[in-house]
Amino acid sequence: MSPPNTFTTTVHPFPSPTSHACAYEIGPQNAKNALVFIGGLGDGPHTVPYPRAIAKRLEETSGLSYSVFEFRLKSSFNGFGFARLADDVADIAALVKYLRGIGKGRIVLMGHSTGCQDCMEYTSPALSAPPVDGYILQAPVCDADAIALEMGHGPLEESTKYAMQLVEAGKGHERMPLSQLPGFMQDNPISAWRWYALAAADGEDNYFSPSLPDELAASYWKRIDQPLLILHSGNDEYVPKSVNTQSLINHWRGLCRPGIASGLSGVIPGAGHRVEEPEAEEWLSSTVIKFLQSIK
């Protein structure tokens, strides 16, 4: 008898810029459509629990025919320190092309944490990524604000200033010294360039800062041309207490093209960043199912 936490997955090797890439499919067998899950910093296949809860709900929902795919990106696990969002998009695009090639109909991208930045980057016209049929953003937090919760704004500003000095000296690929990093980054090598992109107010990863000028933020949100679901966690430990996440979601919805951002968008009650609470996980799974059902 198998232990209770085991689960079965179908492994799909596929061509990708990241060598030996595989996607892992869970949920209904022979599903016509695909929900592609993209994790956050330090994540990889199966590190976030709730995709399995969503897959279980998909098995129980007739007429929807979606399965869930997770996969390893160049930036997965501890690889994020020397990868860019554009690298992630190249990996995601490769999987989308593979899924189209095996006959999948609708393909929806679901980002968690930095995976949400990946979804936003995917819509960049400069990258010409293959089209998908929808986007879900869960825990779209501002990394700079999250890091400042541990480091403080002053030390963080000094750290990103140091990183930019390395970049301007042609040393952006060099590893940031541990003395310039917060505690949770001490075990993960990260380049000066990547640290600046992640942690600076004007870093290229900063899609979700509440302080972004509307003109700049709107230029990002208006790129999205397929149905969009935005879900913040109600008790996200990486969001400053001063941020009203429901108001922020409402604001972002207003910056989107008309009819793009779903009315199901909102705050997951009682959820931490990874939505590991049973009731919050159930709420998230139900909302994702309703959103997928709304995509025509």
pLDDT digits (tens, 9 = 90+) for 191-207: 999 999 999 999 999 99
pLDDT digits (tens, 9 = 90+) for 133-150: 999 999 999 999 999 999
Structure tokens at 32: 């016509």
Rounded mean pLDDT, 51-71? 97
pLDDT digits (tens, 9 = 90+) for 97-108: 999 999 999 999
What is the structure's pLDDT at 87?
97
Kindly report the backbone phi and psi dihedral angles of residue 26, in degrees, each rounded to the nearest multiple of 5, phi listed first: -130, 160
Residue 296 above 90 pLDDT? Answer: no
The DSSP annotation for 109-140 comes to EEEETHHHHHHHHHT-GGG-PPP-SEEEEES-
Taking the alpha carbons of 244, 184, 120, 272 in that order, is the dihedral positive or negative?
A: negative
What is the structure's pLDDT at 134?
98
pLDDT digits (tens, 9 = 90+) for 1-48: 667 788 999 999 999 999 999 999 999 989 999 999 999 999 999 999
The torsion of the CA quartet 55, 56, 57, 58, rounded to 10 degrees, works out to 50
Q: What are the residues facing 71 on neighbouring strands?
A: 23
Residue 122 above 90 pLDDT? Answer: yes
Strand arrangement, sheet containing 228-233: 10-13, 22-26, 66-71, 33-38, 107-112, 134-138, 228-233, 266-268
Burial group, residue 162, by CB count within 10 angstroms (0-12, 13-18, 19+): middle
| Strand pairing class (266-268; 33-38) | unpaired
pLDDT mean across residues, the chain = 96
What is the structure's pLDDT at 185?
87
State which amino acid sits at residue 103.
G
